[in-house]
Amino acid sequence: MNKIACLFIFGGISLFLGCTMAPKYTRPAAPVPAAWPTGPAYVQADSGTNAPFAADLAWQSFFADGRLREIIGTALTNNLDLRAAALNVELARGLYGVQRSTLLPSVGANAGDSRAGTPADLSSTGKRITGSRYDVNLGVAAWEIDFFGRLRSLKDQALQEYLASEQARRGAQVMLIASIANAYLALAADRESLQLAETTLDAQTSSYTLIKRRFQAGLVTELDLYRAQTQVDTARGDVATYQQQVAKDENALTLLTGAQVPRDLLPGRLRDVAPPKEICAGLSSDVLLKRPDVAQAEAELKAAHAFVGAARSAFFPRISLTTVFGTASSELDGLFKAGSKAWAFAPQATMPLFDARTWSAYKVSKAQQKLALTQYDRTVQTAFREVSDALAVRGTVSEQVAAQQSLVNAVAETYRLSVLRYDKGIDSYLSVLDAQRSLYGAQQGLIALQFAKLNTLVQLYAVLGGGQQIAGEIN
């Protein structure tokens, strides 16, 4: 038994001091510039502001609109995609626990009773014999002692896959929050556009009624009457279009939330929505490493490194141990008497000589490692572009909104003057129609740009890694 105890101790030490065949992991150099792009389109004031970084700002603090925060909170509980991502985390955590347990011996106890009858012609005594045996044992069955790190590499691979699934869940949460905010803002913008279309329809209907009376009095031509009617019909079509779009926006918001959104939580006009907080992108692109998709890609790369180690260790011997210690007796009451001790010790070493599958598995592991590295580089490059695009929009959209607002003011004055000139008989009704169309288009463009300005803040928050899991946020 001293030999068995020593082997157990030696095996335990090997778990911590044994070699590993996994290549040493070093984080790859980011295949993107160290700083964000510069130029007229980009905001350069980040370094001088006290705005927080996106990854350090909880979504509850970023979104200032109370109704939107309540909808997001409901979605984080009910959304089925996020629930599936959380279940994937639980699955990966369980698989990691299974793989980690292979490093430890599996100890079991058993008790048995066996009887056997031997005929007289086979018995050494020449008489029929009935034999009995009672056993109580405690033992370890086929415990692999991990001298070359195969099991540890598989355990590390399972750990990194678990961490990757956790980052995938965080990424799903970031995407969900951004999608809900986008749907909320889109609904507000379409409702404002619907209100504009309804107001325009009322105005066009009043103008048509006035033109019709003038036509009946012989003051205007039939051409002016039909021109006025075209504006009414166009406005009617726009009202129906925006009613349809508002309904679709509400359906999209309900799907994302995972429950029917109460009417009192739906937004009114876009201008009534409280804008999100300003955030800082920083000066270095290293903030991309905080993005869940980048962290997920790096975890998958580490898992691929660990798998290479497991594939390499398959070329070396596997040493396993089966041992049993207990008591045995031909009589039940003699099991625990002196002299009934029984034990078995069966170490086994298996040396692979030639197995083509081993070489193929090693080639597969190397290919997976290269593929994971390529995917990591691609994820970082995509993240850099997304942030750069969001910064470019943020740096220019305010000027676009200001220019569009000035255009709306100018066209509105043009329309007012055109109506006055038409009423005095100086201009034709065609000038009024052109001014009406220009004003309506400019107002629609202003709503679209105001939506883009708010939505860009949300997108920048998301692509910088904001809105990740906070302790106690999801049950």
* DSSP per residue, 166-207: HHHHHHHHHHHHHHHHHHHHHHHHHHHHHHHHHHHHHHHHHH
Alpha-carbon dihedral angle through residues 234, 236, 237, 241, given to the nearest 10 degrees: 130
> Mean pLDDT for the chain?
82
Q: Which domains does the chain have, with CATH numbers?
A: 2-114+130-184+253-395 (1.20.1600.10)
**What would the pLDDT profile of 249-305 be if each residue is shown by its tens digit?**
999 999 988 889 999 999 988 989 999 998 888 778 888 888 899 989 999 999 888
- 97: tokens are 């626990």
Alpha-carbon dihedral angle through residues 226, 231, 236, 240, given to the nearest 10 degrees: 130
Helix H, strand E, coil C: the string for 303-359 is HHHHHHHHHHHCCCCEEEEEEEEEEEECCHHHCCCCCCEEEEEEEEEECCCCCHHHH
Q: E strands along 214-335, which residues?
A: 318-329
Give the pLDDT of the chain (475 residues) as one tens digit per residue. 455 455 444 445 444 445 677 788 888 888 888 888 888 888 654 544 577 888 888 889 899 999 999 999 998 888 887 787 777 777 777 776 766 666 667 777 777 777 777 776 766 677 777 777 767 767 676 667 777 777 787 788 888 888 888 888 888 888 889 899 999 999 999 999 999 999 999 988 888 888 888 888 888 788 888 888 888 898 899 999 999 999 999 999 999 888 899 999 999 889 899 999 988 887 788 888 888 999 899 999 998 888 888 888 877 777 777 777 777 766 666 666 666 677 777 777 777 777 778 888 888 888 999 999 999 999 999 999 999 999 999 889 999 999 999 999 999 999 899 888 888 878 777 888 888 889 999 999 999 999 999 999 999 999 988 876 543 343 3
- The alpha carbon dihedral of 401, 402, 405, 407 has a sign of negative
Kindly state the helix (H) or strand (E) to which residue 140 belongs, with its residue range.
Answer: strand 129-145
**What would the pLDDT profile of 101-136 be if each residue is shown by its tens digit?**
666 677 777 777 777 777 767 666 777 777 777 677
